């Protein structure tokens, strides 16, 4: 259970006093009110929830602003899969966001597995184009889905894609999206929207469709509603200024939009954000400012709100933002696991200590996380909690191939699935972590540098000799080895963390957004290494991926050179 008895004894008296500013009774009120609104992006319910939060911030005397920026939103809607033959029947379905609309698009069903699709975006973009039409006129059925899987099936001639949910006995149909880009697409990425309908069915109906397709010829007809539109993506932002006039600030964010009522995804997170604004606003001193944002365009865009935020405040974020804390899906029923520490290496020790002090649990570092409004990785802003509580691996509530609960992205995500005690623990974790970050400051550049160097060393063993990361690693280790945080101005430390994070988390430049897939740390070289190790690559794919890896090496070279320059030492790479 969260918050084991006696764990609070490790908190300092000041921490206990400041933690008492967190009003947990109000937290539950905030949650119930926000969860009462149906919060589709840019809709009335989301607007009413935003007005409710704004009213409370005004009552608390907290400076707040509302703004909007244009973005692409997509609203997949109701759909159906009709079995035309044999044994006709109709199966309910939902179109995923960025699906193409459809009216009775038909074709014979074919079952595809994960191995039938590109493993990542780079595989898809570098693969053979237009030469394989083995799915001409067919409807793809698969328990696996990704944007690149849909686009691959489309390029092979498929007229539709049906997601057959892979686990869980729930009757509900999960509704998500299939965008391969991040935020608002760049011009070349705008061509990546699916041109075929993409519908989801629940596991039982999916199993029926797959069984029939495997037994013989099965003809399906797909129909669905799906709209993509240019819209104003609203933003609500609270400002808690530094009491020392320091320009640096911590950024905290939680998405307000939701699929349906979204009680645990993410009324709980929006409520914690509001409670943190009240508690942190009451502090007698803050060495840095704190900004708290309620994002839109998360569920119905591709993290459009947070992506537009960093785009529109690029210079200010680069110069002054210290870290980003994301609050998503806290307080779920059964979420007793706090041990996956979602903080960067430079803030891991602080986050790990906070989790241990408040829950009694020991933590391990999370693998690289891309989604979850991590729109700040390319800029190099350090993550400090991407989430806190999670369902344990053996939870009966898990569904799909990840850690989501069976009510995720369905009409069933209502207030009954919030556990009040877990919600309070999550709120205290964020509050204590932010208090400690404000009090202790500092970013552990050495630990971050060592983490990057460790991944580069792993890549040395798998990349071809023409793309050798060893010189990069050695130069980086020399720079980090000369690092003395006590002798550095904070601005220099922040710059070093920026550069290292851009190597650690991102494959594209600071002013862009990486694709929306997940790979290992040092993702550009890591994805190239994964592909170049495979047998059976065409000469075309080899030359494309090799070129990509070389350009990644050049990009990292520039970043490591700049890092070395911060130590006033010159290294030849």
**Tens of pLDDT along 506-534?**
999 999 999 988 899 999 999 999 999 99
Do residues 374 and 368 touch, judged by C-beta distance below 8 A?
no
Distances (CA, A) of 529 to 181, 364, 374: 22, 26, 24
Tally Cβ neighbours within 10 Å of residue 3. 17
- What integer pLDDT is reported at residue 401 of this predicted model? 73
Q: Answer whether CATH 3.50.30.30 is correct for domain 73-227.
A: yes
- Judged against a pLDDT cut of 50, whether residue 571 lies above it is answered with no
**E-assigned strand segments in 241-339:** 249-255, 289-295, 321-326
- Judged against a pLDDT cut of 60, whether residue 572 lies above it is answered with no
Mean pLDDT throughout 93-109?
Answer: 97
Summarised one tens digit per residue, pLDDT across range 33-80 is 999 999 999 889 999 999 999 999 999 999 999 999 999 999 999 999
CA nearest to 247, candidates 350, 326, 318:
318
- What integer pLDDT is reported at residue 89 of this predicted model? 95
pTM summary value: 0.96
- Judged against a pLDDT cut of 70, whether residue 400 lies above it is answered with yes
Superfamily of domain 7-70+230-438: Zn peptidases (3.40.630.10)
The angle that helices 420-440 and 24-34 make with each other, rounded to 10 degrees, is 120
Mean pLDDT throughout 347-358?
Answer: 97
The CA angle 377-381-382, to the nearest 5 degrees, is 100
* CA–CA gap between residue 402 and residue 468 (Å, rounded): 34
- What integer pLDDT is reported at residue 442 of this predicted model? 85
- What integer pLDDT is reported at residue 500 of this predicted model? 98
- What integer pLDDT is reported at residue 486 of this predicted model? 66
The helix/strand/coil state of 382 is: strand
Q: How many helices (H) and strands (E) does the chain have?
A: 16, 13
- What integer pLDDT is reported at residue 130 of this predicted model? 65
The CA angle 484-489-494, to the nearest 5 degrees, is 85
- What integer pLDDT is reported at residue 573 of this predicted model? 45
For CA atoms 223, 193, 229, 41, the dihedral sign is positive
Mean pLDDT throughout 382-408?
Answer: 93
**Using 50, 70 and 90 to split pLDDT, how confident is the model at 8?**
low
β-strands 321-326, 160-164: how paired? unpaired
Percentage of residues in the chain with pLDDT exceeding 70? 97
* CA–CA gap between residue 414 and residue 34 (Å, rounded): 11
Summarised one tens digit per residue, pLDDT across range 141-183 is 999 999 999 999 999 999 999 999 998 889 999 999 999 999 9
* CA–CA gap between residue 545 and residue 358 (Å, rounded): 46
Tally Cβ neighbours within 10 Å of residue 291. 21
- Judged against a pLDDT cut of 60, whether residue 570 lies above it is answered with no
Mean pLDDT throughout 433-452?
Answer: 95
Summarised one tens digit per residue, pLDDT across range 280-331 is 999 999 999 999 999 999 999 999 999 999 999 999 999 999 999 999 999 9
Q: Where are the domains of the chain?
A: 7-70+230-438, 73-227, 445-566
- What integer pLDDT is reported at residue 1 of this predicted model? 46
- What integer pLDDT is reported at residue 509 of this predicted model? 96
- What integer pLDDT is reported at residue 547 of this predicted model? 97
Arithmetic mean of pLDDT over the chain = 95
């Amino acid at each position: 259970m969260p918050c084991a008895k006696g764990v609070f004894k490790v908190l300092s008296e000041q921490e206990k006093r400041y933690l008492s500013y967190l009003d947990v009774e109000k937290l539950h009120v905030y949650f119930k009110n926000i969860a009462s609104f149906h919060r589709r992006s840019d809709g009335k319910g989301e607007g009413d929830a935003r007005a409710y939060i704004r009213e409370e911030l005004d009552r608390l005397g907290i400076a707040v602003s509302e703004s909007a920026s244009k973005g692409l939103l997509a609203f997949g809607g109701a759909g159906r899969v009709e079995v035309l033959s044999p044994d006709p029947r109709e199966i309910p379905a939902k179109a995923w966001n960025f699906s193409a609309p459809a009216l009775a698009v038909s074709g014979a069903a074919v079952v595809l597995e994960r191995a039938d699709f590109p493993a990542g975006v780079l595989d898809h973009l570098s693969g053979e184009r237009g030469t394989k039409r083995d799915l001409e006129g067919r409807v793809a059925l698969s328990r696996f889905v990704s944007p690149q899987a849909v686009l691959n099936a489309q390029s092979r001639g498929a007229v539709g894609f049906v997601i057959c949910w892979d686990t869980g006995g729930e009757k509900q149909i999960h509704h998500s999206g299939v965008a391969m880009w991040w935020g608002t697409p760049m011009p070349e990425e705008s061509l990546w929207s699916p041109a075929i309908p993409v519908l989801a069915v629940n596991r039982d109906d999916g199993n029926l469709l797959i069984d029939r397709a495997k037994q013989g010829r099965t003809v399906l007809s797909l129909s669905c509603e799906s709209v993509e539109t240019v819209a104003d993506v609203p933003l609500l932002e609270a400002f808690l200024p530094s009491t020392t006039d320091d320009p640096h600030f911590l950024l905290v964010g939680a998405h307000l939009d939701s699929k349906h009522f979204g009680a645990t995804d993410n009324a709980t997170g929006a409520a914690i954000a509001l409670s943190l604004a009240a508690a942190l606003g009451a502090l007698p001193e803050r060495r840095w400012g704190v900004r708290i944002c309620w994002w839109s365009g998360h569920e119905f865009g591709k993290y459009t709100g947070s992506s537009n935020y960093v785009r529109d405040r690029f210079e200010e974020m680069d110069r002054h933002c210290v870290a980003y804390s994301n609050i998503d899906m806290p307080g779920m029923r059964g979420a007793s696991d706090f041990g996956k520490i979602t903080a960067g290496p430079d803030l891991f020790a602080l986050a790990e200590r906070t989790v241990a002090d408040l829950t009694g649990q020991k933590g391990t570092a999370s693998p690289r996380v891309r989604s979850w409004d991590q729109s700040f990785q390319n800029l190099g802003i350090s993550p400090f909690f991407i989430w806190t509580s999670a369902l344990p691996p053996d939870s009966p509530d898990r569904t799909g191939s990840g850690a989501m609960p069976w009510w995720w992205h369905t009409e069933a995500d209502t207030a009954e699935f919030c556990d009040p005690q877990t919600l309070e623990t999550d709120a205290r974790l964020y509050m204590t972590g932010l208090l400690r970050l404000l009090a202790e400051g500092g970013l552990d550049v050495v630990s971050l540098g060592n983490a990057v160097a460790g991944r580069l060393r792993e890549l040395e063993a798998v990349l071809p000799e023409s793309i050798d990361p060893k010189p990069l690693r050695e130069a980086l280790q020399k720079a980090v080895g000369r690092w003395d945080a006590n002798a550095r101005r904070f601005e220099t430390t922040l710059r070093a963390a920026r550069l290292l994070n851009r190597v650690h988390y991102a494959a594209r430049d600071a002013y862009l957004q990486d694709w929306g897939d997940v790979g290992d740390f040092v993702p550009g070289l890591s994805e190239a290494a994964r592909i170049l190790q495979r047998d059976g690559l065409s000469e075309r794919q080899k030359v494309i991926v090799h070129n990509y890896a070389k350009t990644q090496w050049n990009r990292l070279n520039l970043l490591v050179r700049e890092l070395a320059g911060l130590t006033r030492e010159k290294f030849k790479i």
